[in-house]
Structure 1
Amino acid sequence: FFKVTATTMVTAMKGVGLTAALQYLYLIRFVEAHQIGATDHEGTPAGVLFANQLMPRERLPTFSVAPSNLKTILNEDAETDQQGGPLRFAVERIISGLYTSHYATWEKVADGRVIWRQAVEATHAFGNADECFSLNFHFSRYQMQPGCILNIYDPDSQEAIGPFTDKHNNPRNELWTPIVKSCDVIIETECQPGVDTSVLDIALQAANVAYQDFGIQRESSQDGDDFEDVDRKLASACNVNAVCNPDWDPEQRSIAAMSIKGTKFCTGFMVNNAMNDFKPYFMTAHHCQVNSENAHSLVTYWNWKYDACVGGTLSDVGAQYVEGAVFRAEYEPTDATLLELSKNPDASWHVTYAGWDRSGDDTEGSIAIHHPMVNDGMKISFSNDPTTTTSWENDNSPGDQTHIRVNQWHSGTTQPGSSGSPLFDKNHRVIGQLHGGHARCDHFEPDWYGKFSVSMSAGGFSNFLDPQGSGKSTVDTISISPTCGDGVLDPMETCDTNEFGTKTCSDYGFIGGGTLSCRSDLCTIMTDDCNGGCGNNVKEADEVCDGLDISDKTCADAGFTTGELGCHLDCGSYD
């Protein structure tokens, strides 16, 4: 990609009409603005490329979000905060029936491709034009065909998300998008010539309209300023940018800001398992309200932080994200939830999988890495005091032993958005996740973290994080090898191309032989082609199910009315 200036562009377009020259310059500007980093998120929308062949924007079918009372919404949030619920940054507005492929109006351009567009306008959703900050969307049906893509964009500001493709199809046939930093957008489906558009199944259910400025860029000089100074509710002034402590960079890369159902905000983190096999397990707080019914709505945003300790630039929140997860376990006494993301974060993002200590021992000092507010980058906090084992919001030790009490923070603090973030010991291992507390910049009071060791034992998290029952007390943080794919087995890899060391299928409990394979993007061993064993995601003759292979069964087939069907670890029954 090369940069083109206005002067050189007009010179190069000499003799072509001024309108065409300016349109081409606009396209270059849009592409520059839309280089957002993920390999499947590149491209320029057809509505921009073929603007002179399509109906003008003002003639598009448009859904205008009716105004809501922002004061009422903020009062609801204050009540939720008192009850210990997660931060809310957006409200849902139903659009059902307006953007559905069954009633699509397709426009055809000269090269034969077809385009279907709908506008969504929410600039005055809360009365004033400056009170809506972003949109994200829920498609209640999403089955995209190869050769088709979906983009969501603002042609004026060049803010965009997508393209979404058939790679985003999933068993639930739904799509929850990340935020687009605009409140006036076009939703566009484009199909290449020859694609049968009648088999598309797309239906837009809702727009989630943000009244908090999640992900909105701001001047670095505002970092730490109070709400009154900049008319924005930023993270409190005593918070410390995570980048100030580069020795904690590996652990910072495991942290994500997260949204649930497009409206609520918490912190979570990738967590390693005893097999070091890069399964994308993800932990957060139970009170963040992720469960089996809504885990697929999770969107995780990675490496959202400043590039300098003081000042600097806050990275684009939309540059690195993963949509969707599967619920795995929860344990309310420790306020812990375990999920499995729909896919591993892209290797180029260098996301890590946090190590842990399940000994349950108290530790000398502790460290928190978190996203305290919806509109500010990752922060880091340090306590020099020994931790104590207690009950939730109780100062007496040992109590019911479900929580870790952090006496006070000596550097930084925590805030509502920090919920679900990990607590590390000085050995860089997770020992808990944030439940809540009373800490703030001018209030040196304790916080309580759900105890990881109890979540592992009493909460059953060990079924996933130590599936072979190794009993390991500690595991370390790992990251995907930067040399994956070179055919050489490196320390961070379990395989590389056709190199497996001495491992065979029998090492993984498969008594019927078979062949190991290597996942090329992660350099981790796959056992799909091994025979005679539970756990290879292939239902065999003596199994009811196996991992993700449930033979298209649903909860109704198993005698349940709601929920998401899973397979028991012994492959002998459904969960």
Structure 2
Amino acid sequence: MRKVYLLIALFACQLAVAQVTNESTPKSWDLAFKSQPQKITMPSIDLEAIQQQDAIDDQIRNKPYKFGHKIPVDLNLFNSGLWTELENGDRLWRLNIESKGARTINFLFDRYDLPVGAEMYLYNNDRSDRMGPYTENENQEDGILGSWIIYGDNVWIEYYEPAAVKNQGRISIEQVVHGYRGFGIEEENYLKLNESGSCNVDVQCNPNLGSSTGTDWTTIRDNYRQAVARIIINGNGLCTGTMINNVREDATPYFYTANHCLGASDGASSFYNANNWSFGFEWFTNTPDCATFANTTGPFNPTQVLNGASLKMNHGFSDTALFELNQTPPASWNLYYGGWDRTTTVPTEQLGVHHPSGDIMKLCRNDQAAVAQNVTIGGVTANTWAIADWDYGVTEGGSSGSCLLNNSGQIIGELYGGAAFCNGTVDNGQPDFYGRFSTAWNGGGSPATRLRDWLDPDNTSPNTLDGEFYDILNNEEINAVISIEIYPNPSSGLINVILENPASYDVFDLSGKLIQSGSFNQVENQLNIKELANGIYFLRIQDGNNSITEKISKI
């Protein structure tokens, strides 16, 4: 591929995208209305029957943790709610939905298409919880959207439409999700935290407590709390997943989780639709509870939410799935893209980061070597790393898909299932099992069933890759204007380098080690990389005080 660069001083390329948060205020909150829409009440659900089925599924733990029951509806801008025209010609549409006894409510839209400038908000009746604005940035080709959850059993949907785009918006709801568990303890007031057991350890607790191995997990923990997300799957299921780096280190928003969270056959990327999935990042507290009976104090919900994803690969025997998020995480979030180890090296100690039962982010640690083991759960066999007994913390339903890390801070697997659970403030001594990253690397032998086509698209075959923060992956700092052409890249031997002026060059490997140096004295030059091992390298070109660094690939 030929790439042409015209690079300006200290240029940082950051893709700007909108984000859905709970920090903005709906427009109606500053207005007084003469009339209100008629409240629409959902039919009651058979909670006893639902809980009986959950008791069975929770023991198997090879399905997404179910927190809600879907109620079919047909509600849109034309057959429900109330329109109000404002003095300047802008309009507001408000819809009020009640599902009695619900702990949370969220929505599945079969038509979501907003024009530029329009906004949609969700909030509860007492205005203690809200999410939005949803804008045109959440539009997807098929019009599908899954919302985040709102606490309470009485929720409003508000749509603001500027006069300039009157009648251009389309919103249609096909399912209301009655949340009956998973986001809080059932007390007089439904709390938003502490659904998980008392032996769980908040991610901000000391990750080294009680360990005698000498490993300091602090930096690794700090990195991955910026990578892990709680997932709402198809409106009523919960799993955990992790942003993951690829060899090109180009900030492609790949997201790594468990295949059983999909419930789909191997290689389902051509037909599986995850446009109604939602991903909530950086939900943790700086006032942690570390395996006690006390409740965690912290934010009720993630403040950073993205919507929709495209399945790239899934593989049952490794229980692995890889998605590409439909929205690029905003640069201001500076998420961490996790590293990985595709070797079969036995990890001597491990750390997990996860959202048990949909709760705020937790960690768990094992100080012994994991064991490679085939495990059958619910009739499905997977090749796993077995954790015999957690030394600190535990996992639960909702933790499925969460990453297992080695002591180099690299992903080696994702949670498949197990029997570990809390017994008071300690765990029950039972095992957990993580699908192996190394098995998923070549998976089922096709791009739709293996990781390597996506995480190593140039087939450079590194055994490991370190993680990086978004600002490192997405920024190129240049000291002055340099005009340069580099091609072909990747290359098996010779790379053409076209320059306006003579310049010196250095080639570094991924660890920063200097591999070769030289000079380009012509307009048309060639860089010989025939003797280099296959992989990714950095080519730094310096022309006086001006310099540029660019990735090159040897294949």
* 1:285 counterpart (240, 251, 258): 258
Partner of 2:159: 189
**Structure 1's 500 and 356: CA in aligned 2 closer, same or farther, altered over 3 A?**
farther
> Alpha-carbon deviations, 1:59-107, whole Å to 9, x = none?
x1332111112111101212222443221111111121x3234777532
CA contact (8 A) 2:105 2:177 kept: yes
**Structure 1's 203 and 368: CA in aligned 2 closer, same or farther, altered over 3 A?**
same
* Structure 1 letter corresponding to 2:255: F
The alpha-carbon deviation at position 380 of structure 1 amounts to: 1.1
Please tell me whether residue 477 in structure 1 is matched to residue 477 in structure 2.
no
**Structure 1's 42 and 372: CA in aligned 2 closer, same or farther, altered over 3 A?**
closer
**Structure 1's 500 and 218: CA in aligned 2 closer, same or farther, altered over 3 A?**
farther
The alpha-carbon deviation at position 496 of structure 1 amounts to: 4.5
**Structure 1's 513 and 427: CA in aligned 2 closer, same or farther, altered over 3 A?**
closer
* Structure 2 letter corresponding to 1:50: L
User: Whole-Å Cα distance in 2 between the matches of residues 253 and 211 of structure 1?
Assistant: 29
Partner of 1:74: 51
The alpha-carbon deviation at position 333 of structure 1 amounts to: 0.5
Partner of 1:204: 173
CA contact (8 A) 2:193 2:360 kept: no
User: Whole-Å Cα distance in 2 between the matches of residues 502 and 371 of structure 1?
Assistant: 48
The alpha-carbon deviation at position 499 of structure 1 amounts to: 7.3
> Alpha-carbon deviations, 1:19-47, whole Å to 9, x = none?
xxxxxxxxxxxxxxxxxx95776543233
* 1:455 counterpart (427, 440, 452): 440
User: Whole-Å Cα distance in 2 between the matches of residues 81 and 94 of structure 1?
Assistant: 25
User: Whole-Å Cα distance in 1 between the matches of residues 96 and 81 of structure 2?
Assistant: 13
User: Whole-Å Cα distance in 2 between the matches of residues 285 and 501 of structure 1?
Assistant: 44
Partner of 1:243: 204
> Alpha-carbon deviations, 1:486-517, whole Å to 9, x = none?
xxxxx655525897989745254599999xxx
**Structure 1's 214 and 234: CA in aligned 2 closer, same or farther, altered over 3 A?**
closer
CA contact (8 A) 1:144 1:200 kept: yes
User: Whole-Å Cα distance in 2 between the matches of residues 233 and 494 of structure 1?
Assistant: 38
The alpha-carbon deviation at position 217 of structure 1 amounts to: 11
**Which is richer in strand?**
2
* Structure 2 letter corresponding to 1:177: S
* Structure 2 letter corresponding to 1:249: D
TM-score (norm 2): 0.73
Partner of 1:382: 365
* Structure 1 letter corresponding to 2:407: K
Partner of 1:121: 98
- Listed as ranges, the matches of 1:302-321 within 5 Å are 302-310=281-289, 313-321=297-305
* 1:495 counterpart (454, 464, 476): 476
> Alpha-carbon deviations, 1:538-560, whole Å to 9, x = none?
xxxxxxxxxxxxxxxxxxxxxxx
* 2:354 counterpart (370, 378, 381): 370
**Structure 1's 157 and 377: CA in aligned 2 closer, same or farther, altered over 3 A?**
same
**Structure 1's 104 and 503: CA in aligned 2 closer, same or farther, altered over 3 A?**
farther
The alpha-carbon deviation at position 455 of structure 1 amounts to: 0.4
CA contact (8 A) 2:313 2:451 kept: yes
**Structure 1's 475 and 74: CA in aligned 2 closer, same or farther, altered over 3 A?**
same
User: Whole-Å Cα distance in 2 between the matches of residues 331 and 266 of structure 1?
Assistant: 17
Partner of 1:162: 132
Q: Which moved more, 1:317-326 or 1:207-216?
A: 207-216
* 1:133 counterpart (83, 96, 103): 103
Partner of 2:330: 346
Partner of 2:292: none
The alpha-carbon deviation at position 162 of structure 1 amounts to: 1.4
User: Whole-Å Cα distance in 2 between the matches of residues 351 and 307 of structure 1?
Assistant: 18
Partner of 2:317: 333
**Structure 1's 419 and 500: CA in aligned 2 closer, same or farther, altered over 3 A?**
farther
> Alpha-carbon deviations, 1:386-441, whole Å to 9, x = none?
112121259xxxxx992211222111111112111111111110101111112234
How big is the alpha-carbon RMSD for the aligned residues of Structure 1 and Structure 2?
3.3
Partner of 1:92: 70
Which structure has more relative contact order (CA 8 Å, sep 6+)? It is 2
Q: Secondary structure at the match of 2:375?
A: coil
The alpha-carbon deviation at position 300 of structure 1 amounts to: 1.0
Partner of 2:387: 406
**Structure 1's 372 and 165: CA in aligned 2 closer, same or farther, altered over 3 A?**
same
Partner of 2:510: none
User: Whole-Å Cα distance in 1 between the matches of residues 306 and 282 of structure 2?
Assistant: 12
CA contact (8 A) 1:429 1:476 kept: yes
* Structure 2 letter corresponding to 1:373: S
Q: Secondary structure at the match of 1:172?
A: coil
Please tell me whether residue 268 in structure 1 is matched to residue 203 in structure 2.
no
User: Whole-Å Cα distance in 1 between the matches of residues 105 and 369 of structure 2?
Assistant: 43
User: Whole-Å Cα distance in 1 between the matches of residues 433 and 90 of structure 2?
Assistant: 56
Q: Secondary structure at the match of 1:78?
A: helix
User: Whole-Å Cα distance in 1 between the matches of residues 466 and 420 of structure 2?
Assistant: 29
CA contact (8 A) 1:418 1:434 kept: yes
Partner of 1:294: 273
Q: Structure 2 unaligned segments of length 5 or more: list them.
A: 1-17, 208-217, 265-270, 290-294, 444-448, 499-555
User: Whole-Å Cα distance in 1 between the matches of residues 20 and 229 of structure 2?
Assistant: 19
User: Whole-Å Cα distance in 2 between the matches of residues 235 and 66 of structure 1?
Assistant: 29
Q: Secondary structure at the match of 2:414?
A: strand
CA contact (8 A) 2:366 2:392 kept: yes
**Structure 1's 373 and 103: CA in aligned 2 closer, same or farther, altered over 3 A?**
closer
**Identity %, equivalent residues:** 27
The alpha-carbon deviation at position 379 of structure 1 amounts to: 1.3
The alpha-carbon deviation at position 445 of structure 1 amounts to: 2.5
* 2:89 counterpart (99, 112, 115): 112
Q: Secondary structure at the match of 1:250?
A: helix
* Structure 2 letter corresponding to 1:116: W
User: Whole-Å Cα distance in 1 between the matches of residues 196 and 484 of structure 2?
Assistant: 49
User: Whole-Å Cα distance in 2 between the matches of residues 104 and 156 of structure 1?
Assistant: 19
Partner of 2:342: 358
**Structure 1's 347 and 384: CA in aligned 2 closer, same or farther, altered over 3 A?**
same
User: Whole-Å Cα distance in 1 between the matches of residues 70 and 387 of structure 2?
Assistant: 36
The alpha-carbon deviation at position 341 of structure 1 amounts to: 0.7
* Structure 2 letter corresponding to 1:93: I
> Alpha-carbon deviations, 1:94-151, whole Å to 9, x = none?
121x3234777532122221122221111x2xxxxxx411111111011111232222
User: Whole-Å Cα distance in 2 between the matches of residues 413 and 501 of structure 1?
Assistant: 53
